[in-house]
């Protein structure tokens, strides 16, 4: 693509407002910025689109939203009249421009004769998955960039099962986006007229109530919450996002009396003024919550990201200080608690199963299998976890208790096919109450699990590679590792080299080549002689390569030493 030619096309297009043209005119002498905005389209994948907001083909704006929606509408129209009649659910989060983008998407769908169910105001991401399933929609769209910095927005697309778009449909949307002109391709209607004509129908409290009723089915021990409710305290923050209503409400219904919300972060604001990054994986964002928790003597802190699909916690260490638990540690606690709670309540189904992604802790497998529960891996992404859940349950091979990823995403129940901070908040709080009744903090609980199952440890390194040069560096890094696979890492021999792009497994010592079940993803994995796994994966939503270290030590010291030496090696990959 000739980025200069594309820039001129946009600059002189009648589709742009004067303000948009002024934004482009201001970069007329900045060739690198022009290239960054116009070297290509944003890539449409199974997670849809995500990018920095601004004017340009490689930016998130109303023109790109209309273009993507027209392409998606044509894929839906090809499914036939009955599929079209089922309509599309549209949701959006708290980010700047999210409501505008959602309405633009709704208007394009409506103009193409596709009925729309649009949430009346911002809602947590799991609710679009829920709405697709509840109302039998053919698809769903959610305007969100999850936990990305404030400059970003995104366009997430779901299919009829409530999971993110299958690869074949995503490929078809991407193909149509390549073929259709960004400005002249789309149809649209007046929003108010479509609303008055019933072509766009708003969803509100009735959908919230149906969702909350399903969330409450995941309660296994309300009695223990009521037992400790007078003294058990927690602090909650939505990080200026969509969890601000439903999470406190579901905790109230659980029986919690002391849910102390961080007032500054209960304010909806797409600029996220109190945090550098609204990511509950990062401890820095919890500083206001920690001050309150110390003052109130809280047992733990819970935070949800802006679109309320991820959840993070900080736990009282027992001496009034608080520390973050990683997404893996939260997953381990939830796997162990869920198995125990379902057994105690008599709800354990036949062939119980938990699911995790390939980059998530192996300790979850140890906990599950030690308790007679199967554990399966999938590629990163809840569309794959949802797909595996459906496959296992439809075949009768397994009944999934929960699914999780190390990046603080957790899925329960049959009512969503995506990560869900609302339900995770419920189960985490019940778990915290259960341990409080045993005289234990969640920190105590985690330490007891290490002593019982082994000193597992994980670390994720993010090799950030921004801009157009970064995309090239990411691709080159993966190409170099494939061209010359390492036989030794940090002085330790590599036993097996695994490439998930083709499913190949190579034994380093003997050279024998076999295949594994999973294939079709740009991920490399190295199984080390000391039992550690090293995984290298380019992020699908951010400009970085992720390196995951999954290890096990005889004790804490050995575990931590393993992490340190492999982390030092991983850091060299960015050089």
What amino acid positions are annotated as catalytic residues? 146
The helix/strand count (H/E) of the chain reads as: 20, 23
Beta-carbon contacts of residue 497 (< 8 Å; ≥ 6 apart): 485, 486, 505, 506, 508, 524, 525, 526
DSSP secondary structure string, 158-202?
EETTSSBPPHHHHHHHHHHHHHS-TTTS-----HHHHHHTTSEEE
- Cα first-last separation, the chain: 29
Give SS3 for 440.
Answer: coil
- DSSP run (H or E) holding 456: strand 455-464
- What is the Cα Rg of the chain in Å? 24
Taking a C-beta distance cutoff of 8 angstroms, is the pair 69, 170 a contact?
no
Determine the Cα–Cα distance for residues 292 and 22; give it in Å rounded to an integer: 45
Determine the Cα–Cα distance for residues 125 and 144; give it in Å rounded to an integer: 8
Determine the Cα–Cα distance for residues 67 and 472; give it in Å rounded to an integer: 26
If you ran DSSP here, which 8-state letter would residue 48 be given? B
The two tokens of residue 119 are 């949430």
Give SS3 for 210.
Answer: helix
Give SS3 for 142.
Answer: strand
User: Which residues sit opposite 300 in a β-bridge?
Assistant: 234, 315
The two tokens of residue 169 are 């449909």
Determine the Cα–Cα distance for residues 413 and 161; give it in Å rounded to an integer: 14
Residue with tokens 């296992």: 392
Q: Which of 502, 509, 565, 499 is nearest to 535 (CA)?
A: 499
Q: Which of 65, 14, 59 is nearest to 39 (CA)?
A: 59
Angle at 406 between CA 207 and CA 474, to 5 degrees: 110
Q: In which region does residue 501 sit, left (phi positive, over 0), alpha (psi from -120 to 50) or beta (all else)?
A: alpha
What are the two backbone dihedrals, phi and then psi, of residue 94, each rounded to the nearest 5 degrees?
-90, 0
């Amino acid at each position: 693509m000739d980025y200069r030619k594309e820039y001129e096309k946009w600059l002189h297009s009648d589709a742009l407002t004067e303000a948009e043209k002024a934004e482009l005119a201001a970069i007329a002498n900045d060739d690198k910025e022009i290239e960054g905005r116009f070297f290509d389209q944003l890539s449409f994948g199974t997670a849809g689109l995500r990018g920095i907001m601004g004017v340009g083909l490689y930016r998130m704006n109303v023109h790109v939203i209309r273009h993507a929606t027209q392409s998606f509408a044509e894929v839906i129209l090809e499914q036939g009249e009955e599929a079209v009649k089922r309509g599309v659910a549209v949701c959006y989060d708290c980010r700047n421009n999210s409501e505008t983008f959602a309405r633009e998407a709704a208007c394009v769908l409506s103009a193409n004769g596709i009925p729309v169910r649009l949430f009346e105001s911002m809602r947590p991401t799991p609710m679009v998955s829920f709405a697709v399933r509840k109302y039998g929609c053919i698809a769903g769209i959610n305007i969100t960039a999850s936990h990305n910095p404030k400059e970003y927005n995104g366009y997430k697309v779901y299919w009829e099962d409530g999971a993110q778009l299958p690869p074949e449909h995503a490929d078809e949307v991407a193909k149509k986006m390549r073929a259709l002109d960004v400005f002249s391709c789309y149809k649209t209607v007046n929003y108010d007229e479509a609303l008055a004509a019933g072509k766009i129908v708003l969803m509100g409290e009735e959908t919230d109530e149906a969702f909350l009723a399903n969330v409450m089915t995941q309660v296994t021990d309300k009695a223990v919450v009521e037992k400790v409710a007078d003294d058990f305290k927690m602090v909650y923050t939505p990080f200026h996002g969509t969890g601000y209503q439903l999470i406190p409400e579901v905790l109230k219904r659980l029986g919690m009396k002391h849910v102390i919300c961080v007032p500054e972060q209960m304010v909806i604001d797409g600029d996220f003024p109190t945090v550098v990054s609204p990511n509950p994986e990062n401890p820095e964002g919890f500083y206001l919550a920690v001050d309150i928790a110390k003052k109130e003597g809280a047992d733990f802190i819970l935070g949800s990201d802006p679109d309320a699909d991820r959840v993070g916690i900080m736990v009282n260490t027992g001496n009034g200080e608080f520390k973050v638990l990683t997404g893996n540690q939260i997953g381990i606690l939830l796997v162990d608690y869920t198995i125990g709670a379902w057994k105690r309540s008599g709800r354990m189904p036949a062939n119980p199963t938990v699911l995790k992604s390939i980059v998530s802790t192996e300790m979850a497998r140890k906990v599950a299998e030690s308790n007679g529960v199967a554990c399966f891996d999938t590629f990163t992404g809840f569309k794959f976890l949802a797909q595996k859940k459906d496959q296992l349950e439809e075949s009768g091979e397994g009944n999934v208790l929960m699914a999780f990823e190390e990046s603080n995403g957790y899925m329960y129940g049959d009512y969503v096919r995506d990560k869900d901070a609302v339900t995770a908040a419920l189960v985490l709080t019940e778990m915290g109450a259960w341990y409080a009744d045993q005289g234990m903090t969640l920190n105590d609980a985690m330490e007891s699990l290490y002593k019982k199952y082994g000193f597992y440890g994980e670390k994720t390194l993010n090799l950030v590679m921004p801009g157009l040069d970064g995309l090239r560096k990411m691709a080159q890094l993966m190409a170099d590792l494939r061209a010359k696979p390492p036989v030794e890492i940090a002085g330790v021999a590599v036993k097996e080299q695994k490439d998930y792009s083709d499913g190949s497994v190579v034994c380093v010592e003997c050279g024998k080549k076999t295949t594994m079940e999973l294939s079709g993803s740009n991920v490399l994995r190295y199984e080390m002689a000391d039992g550690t796994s090293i995984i290298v994966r380019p992020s699908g939503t951010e400009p970085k390569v992720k390196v995951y270290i999954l290890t096990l030590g005889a004790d804490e010291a050995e575990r931590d030493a393993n992490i340190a030496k492999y982390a030092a090696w991983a850091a060299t990959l960015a050089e």
